[in-house]
Structure 1
Amino acid sequence: MVFPQIFIRFTVFAALMFTLSSAVSAETRLEARGAGFIDIAPDQVKFSASVTEVNRSAVDAQTQVNSTMSRLEKAIAKFNLNEDSIDSSALSVNPEYRWDADSRKQVFVGYRVNRNLEFTANDVSEIGTILTSLTESGATQVNAPQLAYSRPEDAQQQALRTAVANALKTVRTMASAAKLSIQAIDSISEAKEHFVEPFNNLMRAEASSAVDTAPTVSVGTLRYSADVKIIATAN
């Protein structure tokens, strides 16, 4: 008969669909995040300073600025520097005015010429001495030094490996607690951009007891951080 055969085929097909549906529904999606960090002692210092002069003659102002900049470059040449990092090319010339209350109008003062100096030192123990040299050589402004690490990629990769290991540990703990078995790691992604932050009193100046001695600078550490998200399938 035709009907029983059709019924049997339909029954087998329905049973197969039920089995597949049960297998799919038995899978559980697990999601976990992991953080990792590494504290690194900085081995470089980035300096920036500027020289500014105001003169009614732009040429005279620039001549004075260039003369002072030459003294700065000569002063820092004795230190352990990254030669490729030295840059004193940034120069700006702008007219400057002041408000005259009596005439109620802007009065020309002169031309403000500014030139910047940037460089990286390879010895953090020289921070205080370099700051003193820049100031004594005529820098108009010396910005706060920025501590850095010469191999940031290595430090960041180590932090990332720690974050992944912690995320895997968490997702395995979740599976074990639920009496599940992880079948696959579906994805691993950074939950947020990695970053570097100062940690443990990064830099602190301490006064020297000697009158002609540069201040001692106490240096802390740099913290490289990573945060990842893992999605896994378990049943």
Structure 2
Amino acid sequence: MKKIAWLLPALLFASAAASAADAPPPRLVAVSGQGEVSVAPDRARLSLAADALHPDLKTAESQVNATVRAYLAEAKALGAKDEQISTAGISLNPEYVWDDKLHQQKLVGYRARRTIEVVVTDLDKLGDYVLRATKAGVNHVSPPQLESSRSDELQRQALAKAAQDAQARAKLLADTLGVKLGSVRSVRANDEVRPMPVMYKAEMRVAAAPMADASGNEQIGFAGGEIKYSASVSAEFDLAER
């Protein structure tokens, strides 16, 4: 009796496993959805740098520090606050050239570099921030990175649109095939829901000659365009008979 009692659970388990193996696979539909939201930017990040090469290290350092101080004064005159400006980046490096006569590297001086990051919240003054940078002696200006202060909200909107698109695609397929769309079985969202700057619309070109009574944006030919937030979703839905 003990042996039969021990075998009974094993037989029941084997029977259940056989039934599961014989069961038809679930009827599913797998779809993907896309979502996009566009918005006009309301702020920009400027990346600037000042560097100087000089035989004397202290002189090179003093030159870039003076440029940074001059630009800080210009930026604050435009309304920038302390928390919108960062000047923490600094590097000091020896610079060499190859001497053909000596067949070795020759020290020509020291290059000092300071970086400046500015968050511009008034895009009407973006051109002024750029023009005053060159006026202060800043010799590296990268294209502005346009942003929206509603970034997190817009990312969620794009993701919601992607999920709705996936569900609509699944329902269209189910209706076309004459079956009923069931509950969602699995969902996988794109991990990179992020703004995509449309920089080709942000044309920047410094005018060859100063334009009388023109704003800074007009002088550099700046147009903000739009920022696009996009997301994608992959989902599986159950299918059932109507």
TM-score range, shorter chain: 0.7 to 0.9
| Alignment equivalent of 1:222, drawn from 200, 218, 227 | 227
Counterparts of 1:107 and 1:220 in 2: how far apart (Å)?
Answer: 48
Other-structure match for 1:13:
none
Please list the CA deviations of residues 162-195 of structure 1 after superposition, one character each: whole Å capped at 9, or x if unmatched.
Answer: 1111110111111111111123211222146323
Counterpart of 1:65 in 2: which secondary structure? helix
Counterparts of 2:81 and 2:33 in 1: how far apart (Å)?
Answer: 36
Other-structure match for 1:210:
211
The structure where strand makes up a greater share of residues is: 1
Amino acid at match of 2:104: K
Counterpart of 2:30 in 1: which secondary structure? strand
Amino acid at match of 1:229: S
Is 2:177 aligned against 1:178?
Answer: yes
CA gap of 1:38–1:62, structure 2 versus 1, over 3 A, is same
Amino acid at match of 1:114: R
Q: Which aligned segments of 4 or more residues in structure 1 are displaced greater than 4 angstroms?
A: 206-209
TM-score by length of 1: 0.83
Return the offset for 1:76.
Answer: 0.7
Aligned length: 219
Kept in 2: contact 1:201–1:219 (CA 8 A): no
Counterparts of 1:151 and 1:83 in 2: how far apart (Å)?
Answer: 22
Counterparts of 2:84 and 2:194 in 1: how far apart (Å)?
Answer: 22
Other-structure match for 1:115:
114
**Cα RMSD (Å) of the superposition?**
2.7
Please list the CA deviations of residues 64-106 of structure 1 after superposition, one character each: whole Å capped at 9, or x if unmatched.
Answer: 2111110011111122436423111111110111222223222
Kept in 2: contact 1:49–1:143 (CA 8 A): yes
Other-structure match for 1:66:
65
Other-structure match for 2:80:
81
Return the offset for 1:212.
Answer: 7.0
Other-structure match for 2:4:
none
Other-structure match for 1:49:
48
Amino acid at match of 1:218: A
Deviates more, 1:204-213 or 1:171-180: 204-213
Counterparts of 1:59 and 1:200 in 2: how far apart (Å)?
Answer: 38
Counterpart of 1:162 in 2: which secondary structure? helix
Other-structure match for 1:101:
100
Counterparts of 2:210 and 2:186 in 1: how far apart (Å)?
Answer: 58
Counterparts of 2:198 and 2:88 in 1: how far apart (Å)?
Answer: 33
Kept in 2: contact 1:82–1:121 (CA 8 A): no
* Runs of 5+ unmatched residues, structure 1: 1-16
Amino acid at match of 1:210: M
Amino acid at match of 1:68: T
| Alignment equivalent of 1:233, drawn from 212, 235, 238 | 238
Please list the CA deviations of residues 29-57 of structure 1 after superposition, one character each: whole Å capped at 9, or x if unmatched.
Answer: 11111101011111111001111112222
Q: Which has the larger radius of gyration?
A: 1
Counterparts of 1:209 and 1:53 in 2: how far apart (Å)?
Answer: 26
Other-structure match for 2:10:
none
